[in-house]
Chains A and B, each alone.
Chain A
């Protein structure tokens, strides 16, 4: 077996990758650079092509068109075992006939290493399960199997570690804990992690950079804060958190700001947060950026009047309001329960306001429903 571990490293570059199965295009003309040492997430609903992309990087599928480079080496047609890339599989795919020790030693032995004990023990310490070395996978809990799957991959110190929905089978509490742990392990070992998930919170918690995928293409790429604060499409705005998208028209400019008309009421927003191509836009505001106040009380920033509270949900840390605007649209407002003010009641006539810098603008011809109806809790569909 060739020594593939140290041969290649560097950034991973996907260049104009397309993958088709008959008439169906799973991945469409995708280009992507993943910097060495980063924690990168491919985020999207099931069927968006993220798992196919991951499998092409791993070598389990071959692109129909396009090339994949690791550093300066073209790995497009290399077999999985010829790539310095390891995968943490969905449902782990541990070898049921081997002990935990032998599972972890598998990759090292295939590469012809004689003495694997020290390496295996070190990585077992890292995932805090050294006492399980002689067990079989079926004797372990889901969380333990997850850690062993991770240990089995990182023990090889690959140039790239791929994680395919690694936490999908764990319950919520364990998932949160593993998110923090995975992030810590990534910093500890300093490897490049590429993480595929449909869980936006998971991607935001762990990744430095997120690429949001939809229908085989990358919708938007950036840091979690970038994507959340300044989404470029309705799909991203809806898939990452919630958004209020209000139809509007750009009326003019005022310095670095745009003046926007929303159903007769004027608001202002920063120019650099507009993704519009013409004057027709959707103005986007995150529900927690809205402030809510009774008619007649002082407000600042952008103001929209004429709202009426339709529904109130108290959820402890915050209160969620549904407010019907004069033009019939319902908007969501999340208010922190931190000011001692008693919550508003259903039927109250209210004004909503927000800081102009929290506004983003999408193209007026975007599909406001995009990213809404997808069912994120369905990881096995792909």
Chain B
């Protein structure tokens, strides 16, 4: 009797630490954020003092004032995701099927950038793409860019920075799903009159789709909310929504607008991701 009772309770006990953690560090802040997003400044109060007035039009103002940055965030994130996919897929494919004994070594190389801080790596890119780096003079000398063109403080630099920074998040899930494919299914496809390209289209790609979905989500979601790349590699003209939220919070101390923007961003990402997963047809992922 007591044995059966404890058997029922054990799973809940195991869940408890995780639940407490999530409650304290996710649920409570979210609720707090939701409250803040409908507050208005206290009349006659100091900067940064707000009261709850359920002022939902904060959302309308926040969105209409920052439409451009929203749009830019999603365009940049999309570009970075597509680029990362284009780079990571062949890489993951090679590691999974062609690397042989080098497999583990190459996987270590993929995650090696994590040993250096995200911020430092992005600053390093600023130097690489800067006037003193070797990239700009080389490109100028072979005539790919004109003498007056710079690479830093451009949209290009921001997208490249994000592509670079999120590449491991794309590569690892792709590798995991490619590695799970039984190579004999590819042999079977060749045996059944499919050439290399058809085998890729009809067998390898569909079987790696869970990895593609996971990788693109792990890249797109943080990229859409990122502000470090735009801050370091971009200019005021390449501001993303993350930069706006950051400055509203820490510079202008406009908490309600920052909160409303955060919620709008979250909602937009959720909607996009849901549509995407439906289209990709891999419901088992979520």
Judged by a CB distance under 8 angstroms, whether A130 is at the interface is no
Q: How far is the CA of A97 from the CA of B204 in the complex (A)?
A: 10
B side interface size, CB within 8 A: 17
A81 with B191: CB separation less than 8 A: yes
Q: Which residue of B lies closest to A85 (CB)?
A: B191
A81 with B190: CB separation less than 8 A: yes
B207 with A97: CB separation less than 8 A: yes
B185 with A95: CB separation less than 8 A: yes
- Shortest CB-to-CB span from A205 to chain B, Å, is 26
Judged by a CB distance under 8 angstroms, whether A346 is at the interface is no
A81 with B195: CB separation less than 8 A: yes
Report chain B residues within 8 Å CB of A95.
185, 188-189, 203, 207
Q: Contacts A60-B190, A79-B190, A95-B203 given; indicate if A1 touches B185 (C-beta within 8 A).
A: no
A89 with B187: CB separation less than 8 A: yes
A93 with B192: CB separation less than 8 A: no
Judged by a CB distance under 8 angstroms, whether B283 is at the interface is no
B191 with A91: CB separation less than 8 A: no
Judged by a CB distance under 8 angstroms, whether A301 is at the interface is no
In the complex, how many residue pairs between chain A and chain B have their CB atoms under 8 Å apart?
66
Judged by a CB distance under 8 angstroms, whether B194 is at the interface is yes
Report chain A residues within 8 Å CB of B190.
59-60, 79-81
Q: Contacts A97-B206, A97-B207, A110-B198 given; indicate if A91 touches B193 (C-beta within 8 A).
A: no
Looking at chain B's contact residues, is the secondary structure mostly helix, strand, loop, or mixed?
helix
Indicate with 1 or 0, residue by residue over A72-103, a CB within 8 angstroms of chain B CB atoms: 00000001110001110111011111000000
- Shortest CB-to-CB span from A98 to chain B, Å, is 8
B207 with A93: CB separation less than 8 A: no
B206 with A86: CB separation less than 8 A: no
A152 with B206: CB separation less than 8 A: no
Contacts from A to B (Cβ < 8 Å): 1, 4, 58-60, 79-81, 85-87, 89-91, 93-97, 106-107, 110-111, 152, 156
B193-217 contacts to A, CB under 8 A, are 193-195, 198, 202-203, 206-207
Residue among B192, B194, B195, B206 making CB contact with A156, cutoff 8 Å: B192
Residue among B193, B206, B207 making CB contact with A4, cutoff 8 Å: B193
Report chain A residues within 8 Å CB of B182.
91, 93
- Shortest CB-to-CB span from B56 to chain A, Å, is 46
Closest 6 pairs (CB-CB, A-B): A107-B192, A93-B184, A110-B193, A80-B190, A93-B188, A81-B193
A60 with B193: CB separation less than 8 A: no
Report chain B residues within 8 Å CB of A97.
203, 206-207
Q: How far is the CA of A106 from the CA of B187 in the complex (A)?
A: 13
Q: How far is the CA of A17 from the CA of B191 in the complex (A)?
A: 21
Q: How far is the CA of A4 from the CA of B192 in the complex (A)?
A: 11
Q: How far is the CA of A129 from the CA of B188 in the complex (A)?
A: 21
Report chain B residues within 8 Å CB of A89.
184, 187-188, 191
Report chain A residues within 8 Å CB of B198.
1, 110
Q: How far is the CA of A96 from the CA of B182 in the complex (A)?
A: 10
Q: Contacts A95-B203, A97-B207 given; indicate if A106 touches B192 (C-beta within 8 A).
A: yes
- Shortest CB-to-CB span from A314 to chain B, Å, is 44
Report chain B residues within 8 Å CB of A93.
182, 184-185, 187-188
- Shortest CB-to-CB span from A99 to chain B, Å, is 13
Q: Contacts A106-B192, A110-B193, A110-B198 given; indicate if A80 touches B187 (C-beta within 8 A).
A: yes
Report chain A residues within 8 Å CB of B188.
87, 89, 93-95
Interface centre among A90, A94, A96, A156 (most CB of B within 10 A): A96
Interface centre among B184, B191, B202 (most CB of A within 10 A): B191
Report chain B residues within 8 Å CB of A94.
185, 188
Can you pick out 20 interface pairs between chain A and chain B where the beta carbons lie within 8 Å of each other? A1-B194, A1-B198, A58-B191, A59-B190, A80-B190, A81-B190, A81-B192, A86-B191, A86-B192, A87-B187, A89-B184, A90-B184, A91-B182, A91-B184, A95-B185, A95-B189, A96-B185, A107-B193, A110-B193, A111-B193
Residue among B184, B189, B206, B207 making CB contact with A106, cutoff 8 Å: B189
- Shortest CB-to-CB span from A157 to chain B, Å, is 12
Q: How far is the CA of A1 from the CA of B190 in the complex (A)?
A: 12
Q: How far is the CA of A81 from the CA of B182 in the complex (A)?
A: 19
Report chain A residues within 8 Å CB of B192.
81, 86, 106-107, 110, 152, 156
Q: How far is the CA of A271 from the CA of B74 in the complex (A)?
A: 88
Q: How far is the CA of A96 from the CA of B203 in the complex (A)?
A: 9
Report chain A residues within 8 Å CB of B202.
106
